[in-house]
Amino acid sequence: MAIVEQIDAPAGARRRLRISSPVTREAVGEIDVQTAQDVGAALEIARKAQPAWAALSFGERARYVTRALHVLLDRHEEFIDVVVRETGKTRLEALYMEIFASCDALQYYAKRTAKILRDRPQRMHLLSLMKQLRIVYRPLGVVGIITPWNGPFILSLNPTVQALMAGNAVLLKPSEVTPYSGRLVADLFEAAGLPDGVLQVLLGDGETGQALTESDLNKISFTGSVETGRKVAEACARQLMPCTLELGGKDPMIVCRDADLERAASGALFGAFMNTGQVCCSIERVYVAEEVADEFIAKVVEKTQQLRQGANGEADIGAIFRPEQLELIERHVEDARAKGARILAGGRRNPDLEGLFYEPTVLTDVTHEMAIMRDETFGPVLPIMRVRDEEEALRLANDTRYGLSGTVWTRDKHRGVELAKRLDVGSVCVNETEMIYGVTEAPFGGLKQSGIGQVNGEAGLRGYCYAQPILVDRFGAKREQAWYPFTAKKERTMKRIMRLLWGTPLGRWMS
């Protein structure tokens, strides 16, 4: 049974989907797939609502966002219930990843947007005597936000808050696998009293997402797979609509010979198995220096065997959110096994649990001929490869079409940073699992096929704006030197200025 199933609907009616729990396999609910017509109607409402929203001060917008934060603090248990019901995450995981991180995003942008996006005077290197320049951050208009199922609340809420604080209206399309977690974002802001039409959630699958990318929006902020990201980029390119693409990864972990192996082994587990490995920046492959490989692997296996799996109580590892993902994980592990990999832990569905549970898995003797080292697995699977030295680790780590993030583990922090600079990825952590998405100040994004553009922090917030420079003349002279009429005298003066500015030490200092 699929977790998302299409239900027969009468001819001419909207398509309808049934969503089921990956843990109990019981129905969670049914949704109508919203069509291009629905998207068009929502866009019309958003266009009408946006100017009044943009006319509010940052402080006024922040008051709604702060109210949303208080609603979340009050009702977080109820929100966790919704997320857990349709994802099979453990409750603590939902608290960490979805609620805690969302509270931080709400507070961060409510408190700091005014400072980051305020109109600012900009000194000019040449013209300051005669002109004044201001940079004004104007909202783009109506932004479409399309999100995946693995962090269904935080990945919907975080870009939404940024787009709203910047003065945009938002059409949010959460994943069809987790529509109720996505809809919580609208519930939250409705409870906070957000004016009607400023944020609308459209439920549905690829049909709804595609309709958004083909609408007359002002930007698409997309988070999801490389395959869909490419379609979104093509649709946006056709209408010259800006987009950011936050896509998949195959993130490497490099364990140097001088690493603290106890910390590195615990970090490998958390980095690879958090959210059941369904995190874009999960550790997906490990390169460990030969001298310490045996000790590191032994620690990883021992710790993996202690992990508790289940959906309730104090379980560490939850469910796989959908059967297609479980099948892909099985394919990767079987491909590796068939090509000579050794499975040191897990390597199968959990026979003691009824839902979609795959045991946390550790493999060695893996090579780059195996899908498990090349393609995104997105599951609780940790393949470990021995390498001669850091040079070989770097070469293999960069031997991929992905470039989202990576980690380096060494007691020499300086060398760690130097190695980090040579990883061809969007962000790196040294002696820490990849947590940059949760560091609100840090721009987050991917290189190569892992994406285009960056989200979060100042850069992310400004990505929801158009930076408009406004130049104002200071003195109101009747005519400028460069204006008509063109004369030989003006030509001589211009040449003298050029020589002064770029041909003399004084000029070079001034310019």
- Which residue among 98, 176, 246, 284 is the active-site one? 246
Q: Is 337 in the site for ligand NAD (CB under 6 A)?
A: no
- Which residue among 236, 280, 429, 465 is the active-site one? 280
Residue closer to ligand NAD by CB (options 410, 454) is 454
Token representation of residue 491: 């030509």
Greatest extent of the chain over all pairs of C-alpha atoms, in Å: 91
Residue closer to ligand NAD by CB (options 176, 390) is 176
Instruction: Give the range of 5-13, 159-167, 221-229, 469-477 binding ligand NAD by CB under 6 A.
Output: 221-229
| Pairing, β 27-32 against β 444-445 | unpaired
Query: How many beta carbons lie within 10 A of that of residue 386, not counting itself?
Result: 20
- Cβ of residue 329: shortest distance to ligand NAD, in angstroms? 13
Does residue 10 have a cis peptide bond before it, meaning omega lies within 30 degrees of 0? no
User: Which position among 88, 159, 224, 252 is part of the footprint of ligand NAD (CB under 6 A)?
Assistant: 224
* Residue 209 burial (10 A CB sphere; 0-12, 13-18, 19+): buried
- Cβ of residue 152: shortest distance to ligand NAD, in angstroms? 9
Q: How far apart are CA 264 and CA 299, in angstroms?
A: 9
Q: Is 451 in the site for ligand NAD (CB under 6 A)?
A: yes
Q: Partners of 135 in the beta sheet?
A: 120, 469
Q: How far apart are CA 349 and CA 306, in angstroms?
A: 17
Residue closer to ligand NAD by CB (options 102, 150) is 150
Range 125-184, binding ligand NAD (CB under 6 A): 146-151, 155, 173, 175-176
- Cβ of residue 441: shortest distance to ligand NAD, in angstroms? 16
Token representation of residue 494: 């211009």
280 is catalytic: yes
Instruction: Give the range of 18-26, 29-37, 45-53, 223-231 binding ligand NAD by CB under 6 A.
Output: 223-231
Task: Give the type of residue at 33.
Answer: V
Please answer whether residues 184 and 71 qualify as being in contact, where contact means their C-beta atoms are separated by less than 8 angstroms.
Answer: no
- Of 398, 404, 139, 400, which Cα lies nearest the Cα of 245? 404
Q: Which residue is nearest to ligand NAD (CB)?
A: 209
Residue closer to ligand NAD by CB (options 302, 324) is 324
User: Which position among 38, 93, 98, 205 is part of the footprint of ligand NAD (CB under 6 A)?
Assistant: 205
Q: Is 101 in the site for ligand NAD (CB under 6 A)?
A: no
User: What's the gap between Cα 289 and its chain centre?
Assistant: 31
Range 362-391, binding ligand NAD (CB under 6 A): 376, 378
Q: How far apart are CA 256 and CA 386, in angstroms?
A: 11
Q: Is 232 in the site for ligand NAD (CB under 6 A)?
A: yes
Task: State whether residue 434 is helix, strand or coil.
Answer: coil
281 is catalytic: no
Query: How many beta carbons lie within 10 A of that of residue 387, not counting itself?
Result: 20
Q: How far apart are CA 301 and CA 343, in angstroms?
A: 10
Site string for ligand NAD, 238-277 (x = CB under 6 A): --------xxxx----------------------------
Total residues belonging to the chain: 511
> Using CB under 6 A as the criterion, which residues of the chain lie in contact with ligand NAD when the complex forms?
146-151, 155, 173, 175-176, 205-206, 209-210, 213, 223-225, 228, 231-232, 246-249, 280, 376, 378, 404, 446, 451
Q: Give me the active site residues, please.
A: 246, 280
